[in-house]
Chain A
Amino acid sequence: MNSIKLKGALLSVILFLMMLAVWHLATAPKSGINQPDRVSTTPASSGNSEYDLLMGKGSKDVAPAQKSGFPTLTQMGETFYKQLSDPFYDKGPNDKGIGIQLAYSLARVSLGFLLALVVALPVGFLIGMSPLLSAALNPFIQILKPISPLAWMPIALYTIKDSSISGVFVIFICSIWPMLINTAFGVASVRKELLNVAKTLEVNPIRKAFKVILPAAAPTILTGMRISMGIAWLVIVAAEMLVGGTGIGYFLWNEWNNLAISSVLFAIVVIGFVGMLLDMLFAKLQKMVTYAD
C-alpha cells in the first residue's frame, strides 16, 4: 500500500516534469525569421516612435517573447515569484495582490455558502420528514436546480443593485440545491429501526432531530455540502468575471485584458489549488461524521 503511494507520487513528479519539458520546447524562442523581422521594423517606423512606445513596441524593458504570445517557463517562474512574494499589495482598484483577490472570493463563497446552508438544512429536514412537503416542493426544486446560477445574475443585479452582493446571491443559489437534496435524502433514509428505537424510548421531536436523525444523516448532508462547495468555487470565478471589481475571477479577466497570459495561467493554477484545499477540508469534515455500520 505504502509503496504504491510512493510510486504514484514519483510518477506524478515525472509526469509533471514531462509536461514542463513539452511546455519549454513549445515556447522556446524561435531563431530565424521572426527576430530579424522585428528588429528591422522598429527603425523603419521611427516617425511613430512615440506612438510605438505607447503601444509598448519600442520599449527596451519589455521582453520580446511576451509579444510572441505564450509565456516561457522562465516568465512563468517570474510571474509566480512576483505574485507570491507580495500577495497582499494594494495599488488601486485594478491592481491588487493575489492574496487580497482570493480573500474577496473566499469571503463571497463562504457567505453565500453559509446562507445556503442555513436555508437548506432546515428545509431539507422538513422535506425529508414529510412526504407531503417533499411531493409539493419537488417540482420547484427540479426546475430550479438545472438553471445556471449565472442566469440569475441580471435579476440579482436588478433587484439587489450591488454587484458584490449579487455575487454572494449567485453562490447562494448554486450551492443550495445539492445541500437541500442531500439533506432531504439523508433524513428520509434514516433507518426505520433507529426511528423505532427513538419511538419506544419516547424521545421528544427536538431531541430526536438532533440526537438521532442529524447524526444518522450527517454523512449524506456533508456529501451535499462538499458538492455545493465544489460548484460554488466553479461559479465564483465566472460570476466575478461578469460583475468585476474584486476577486480571483476579476483578477483573471483583468490580466486577460492586459494580455498578461502568464498572470492568467498563474490565476488558473491558484484557483485549482484553492479548490483542492476546499475539497480536502470538506473531505475531512465528511470523515469526521461518517460512521461504520
Chain B
Amino acid sequence: MQFKSQAVAKPYFIAAIGLFVGQILFGLILGLQYVIGDFLFPAIPFNVARMVHTNLLIVWLLFGFMGGAYYMIPEESETELFSPKLALLMFWIFLVAGALTIVGYLAVPYATLAELTGNNLLETMGREFLEQPLPTKLGIVIVALAFLFNITMTVLKGKKTAISIVLLIGLWGLAVFFLFSFYNPVNVVLDKFFWWWTVHLWVEGVWELILGSFLAFVLIKTTGVDREVIEKWLYVIVTLTLITGIIGTGHHYFWIGTPEYWQWWGSIFSALEPIPFFAMTVFAFNMVNRRRREHPNKAAVLWALGTGVMAFLGAGVWGFLHTLAPVNFYTHGTQITAAHGHMAFYGAYAMVNLMMISYAMPILNGRAANSNKSQVIEMWSFWLMTVAMVFITLFLTAAGILQVWLQRVSDAPLPFMVAQEKIAMFYWMREWAGVAFLIGLILYIVSFFVGGKEEKAA
C-alpha cells in the first residue's frame, strides 16, 4: 500500500465480514420463522431476530464504509491519515457498542432494555431500523463525528479530488440525517415523516454518494482510465441521484397522513430514481471496456461490475415496480417491499463494500491481488451469493403478488394470516435460496485463507 496509515482499514473490513455472517444467520432464523411460526419462540421472537438482522446489516455496512474511507482517503489525498490512533480507538468503541447492543437485544425483553438504557430520558427506541438504545445512538454520533473529523482533516491537509469531495458530502450527509433519529414526536404522522429523513435520505440519497465514490475509486485503480473521465461520470451520477432521490422521498408520503399531492411528486421523481443506477451500470462496464491495463485483481473488477448491475435491478427496477402511487396503494407494506429491500441492499451496499474489501485486502496484506486459486473461489462466492439473492427476490416477489391478490384485490379479501398460509411454499423456497446464500458467504470467507502462487507485491 502507498501509505502506512491505510492499514487501519483492515480491522474495519474484518469486523464488517464477521457481522455480515451474523446478519445472514439471523436472516435464516427469520426465514424459518416465516414457515415454522414458533421456531425459537419465546427465546428469540421474530421481532428480536429481525432487529438483530437489520441492525447488523446497518452496522456492518457502516464498518465497511468507514474502512473503505480510511483506505481510500490517504491515497486520494496523497498524505497519511490525520490520526490512525483515533481511527483504531473508534474501531474498538464502535465494535464494543455494537456487540453490547446485540447482546442487549437478545438477553432481555426489549421493554426492559428500554427501561435500563434511559429511553425515558429521550424516547427514541422502537422505530423500525432505529431500535438502538439511546447510549448506542449517542455512540454512533460520537464515532461518526470522530471519523468525519479524521477523514476531513486528512482531505484538508492533502489533495482534494472529486472522489474525496463526493465521499465527504455522502459521509457528512449520513451523520447529519442520522440526527433525525433523535426526533420522535408523539404525533405519529410527524414521527413517520421525519423518520424517513434518516432512512430514505440515507439509502436513496447520501449513501449513493458513498457508493459512487467507492466505485469510481476502484475503477480508476483497476482500469487505469483517465481520472478526468471517471470523475466527470461520478458527478453526473450523483447529480442524477440527488435530483431524483430527494423529492423521491415522496413515495413514502402516499399513505401516512401526508397530503395527496405527494402521490404525484413521489411517483414522478421516484420513477426517475432508476436512472442514476442505470448510469452507474453503464459507467462500470464502459470503464472496464476502455481499460488501459489488466489489473491482476479480477475478483474486484467482477464485484465492481456486479454492484452496478445488481443495484440497478434491486434498487432501480424492483423499486420502480411498486413506486407509482396507484400500484403502491395495493403493494404498500407487503412482501413486494421485502423483495425490493433485499436485492437493493445487497446489490448497492453489500456488494460495493465487498468490492472495496476485495480490492483493498490483498494490498493491505502486501500483494497486488490474491492468488488465482483464491480469486476463483471468491468469484464462485460472488455468483452463489448473487444468484441466491436473485432467487430470494423472485420468491418474495411471487409471494408478494399472491399476497396482494388474496388479501387486497380479490372480491373476497382474506385475513392476513390466511393469505400467509396459502403462500408458504414461496417462503420455503426463499429459505432454501437463503441457505445457498450462506454457502456463498462461507466460500467468500474461505477465499481469504486459500494460498497458492501469489501475484507480485503491490
A binds B: no
Instruction: Name A's B-contacting residues (CB within 8 A).
Output: none
Instruction: Name B's A-contacting residues (CB within 8 A).
Output: none
